[in-house]
A and B are shown apart, each in its own frame.
Chain A
Amino acid sequence: GAVVSQHPSWVICKSGTSVKIECRSLDFQATTMFWYRQFPKQSLMLMATSNEGSKATYEQGVEKDKFLINHASLTLSTLTVTSAHPEDSSFYICSARGTGRETQYFGPGTRLLVL
């Protein structure tokens, strides 16, 4: 149980385009989802927290207009990187947490390369 998927697993896009990444909880309802960014050989940096049906809460320094997060259902959250630039290239990981649960379950990650 507690499986989280992400799609796509990797994406290459041109600078200036937008990219959408999906995060799904497959066997539980995720009231809260988290989006992280990870640079090579580094730890995870929390970008934002999203609760189903409400606006995401962004961490300090994260541009909310650049990283659009939508958590429209209890099993799906999306992260859209708008007008992507090469510096947005990174590994993006989502996690999900169910109601009353304290544990986050992580997706397999999405590697984004912006050319």
Chain B
Amino acid sequence: AQSVTQPDIHITVSEGASLELRCNYSYGATPYLFWYVQSPGQGLQLLLKYFSGDTLVQGIKGFEAEFKRSQSSFNLRKPSVHWSDAAEYFCAVGPPSNTGKLIFGQGTTLQVKP
């Protein structure tokens, strides 16, 4: 079955510390991979995406993610977290075709301590 797992439901980091949010997926083929961020009461904003090519992708707001095929993972990282990064983060996978249906992980809530 196709699925996305974000093992960490809630993460707290200090401002300025580094961050890594984990994402593992189960899929028949290498899917398209996405990270979205959601602030309270808001829609989702695309942070970055991976379709093919370089497995280290850069996104907005200083985020990056690395696709590791052998581990079926697409972990999100940021070297130095800002208080404004506190939000809900969703990893999503989609088929490498034109259907566009995304499967979302359960989300990770990031809390940033001053």
Contacts and interface: CB of A to CB of B under 8 A. Distances in A.
Interface of A: 4, 6, 32, 34, 42-44, 46, 49, 91, 93, 95, 97, 100, 102-109, 111
Residue of A44, A46, A103, A106 ringed by the most chain B CB atoms within 10 A: A44
Contact of A102 (B36, B42, B100, B107): B100
Scoring B36, B41, B44 by chain A CB atoms within 10 A of each residue's CB, the highest score goes to B44
Nearest to B106: A43
A106 B100 contact: no
Interface class of chain B by DSSP: loop
Interface string B69-108: 0000000000000000000001000100011111011110
B51 A102 contact: yes
B34 A109 contact: no
Nearest to A93: B43
A44 B105 CA distance: 9
Size bracket, chain B contacts: 20 to 34
B25 to A, nearest CB: 14
Interface of B: 32, 34, 36, 41-46, 49, 51, 90, 94, 98-102, 104-107
A57 to B, nearest CB: 9
Contact of B100 (A4, A49, A107, A111): A49
B6 to A, nearest CB: 9
Contacts of B101: 34, 46, 49
A43 B107 contact: yes
Contact of A109 (B41, B90, B99, B104): B41
Contacts of B105: 43
Contact of B43 (A34, A97, A103, A106): A106
Given A43-B105, A102-B94, A111 B36 contact: no
B100 A109 contact: no
Contacts of B32: 102
